[in-house]
Structure 1
């Protein structure tokens, strides 16, 4: 009886030591693109729309983690043309305008960086909203709202139009943007006209 129990135990132990272990479950895909290219101008960027106004402020000198992966981005090193949108999953106008930012990102690929900053939110809520809306452009994560506070604490959503030197050409903080308004502001403040 002891021999049978020992043989059974050895067989069970050997079964667990197989050369072909069960594959690990695949991680869920990240909702947003990587942030690696944000500190260089877009590959097909056009010339700047002229000198920045004297009152054009630089982007804040803060570091924020990329929503995807573990990289950190120095916000002041972001180079445009770029459209930076501060949003939160809890913000109704933010949710309304995010699909327009996604469509703009698709049309502006290689010409304009489109960057989101998930603000005062949880990664779970932000990622879930992005998946629901099909948002894939790069996003930074700012749980403690440092970026928004540096912009005089304006309520969300906030959209910045940033030139190639990292200067804020325009700060938009009004009604949710739609496709036409976003395209108009990009043309006006960044000199970028899209088909």
Structure 2
């Protein structure tokens, strides 16, 4: 196999998020096992409204909105190259600050299986919903993926980050500024 053909196969396999191991086809791999349940949100998000989407983990309907504390809404997709770089950063933020700031992933314009493979591959432990029609992205006015919205407990959007390249540190700094917190 030529180096170009091998590189093309690696690139295609990396973009789909469908295979948990290199060289294993999705038919051989079975279904993804990732399943994080979604918590109910109660306040509608400004621009998004009273939206319910399927929880990516268990398929149950979940309201998209904050539940009594600040919420960081992360728009991602398995096919989004910058999202691959940002997934570990978002997970590290969640691990460090999830007790003070809720995190909700929004798998955007994607299939449920591809999204679940992505979440499994990156060890995501925060809940995510499936948004194949891009209602959240459009409602928030995010021009393209990735995007992060910092949402106050009342549903108002405090800050919107639409440039790729977020890090755990930049997410922490933005959350501090947006929500008046002192996360470290």
Q: Is the pair's TM-score, using the shorter chain for normalization, greater than 0.5?
A: yes
Aligned twin of 1:60: 48
Q: Flag the 1:76–1:60 CA change in 2: closer, same or farther, 3 A.
A: farther
Aligned length: 153
CA contact under 8 A between 2:38 and 2:55: conserved in structure 1?
yes
Structure 1 distance, partners of 2:106, 2:53, is: 9
Q: 1:39 to 1:128 in 2, by over 3 A?
A: same
Runs (5+) with no aligned partner, structure 2: 1-29
CA distance in 1, matches of 2:66, 2:168: 27
Compare CA radii of gyration and give the structure with the larger one.
1
CA spacing shift, 1:29–1:87, aligned 2, 3 Å: closer
2:72 pairs with 1:83? yes
Give the whole-Å Cα distance in 2 for the aligned partners of 1:65 and 1:120: 13
Residue number in structure 2 paired with 1:158: 147
- Cα separation, 1, equivalents of 2:140 and 2:66: 17
RMSD over aligned Cα atoms: 2.3
2:48, 2:135 within 8 Å by CA — same for their partners in 1? no
Gaps of 5+ in 1: 1-26, 41-56
Aligned equivalents of 1:129, 1:77: Cα separation in 2: 24
Q: TM-score, normalised by structure 2?
A: 0.74
Give the TM-score of the pair, scaled to structure 1. Answer: 0.70
**CA distance in 1: counterparts of 2:33 and 2:160, whole angstroms:** 29
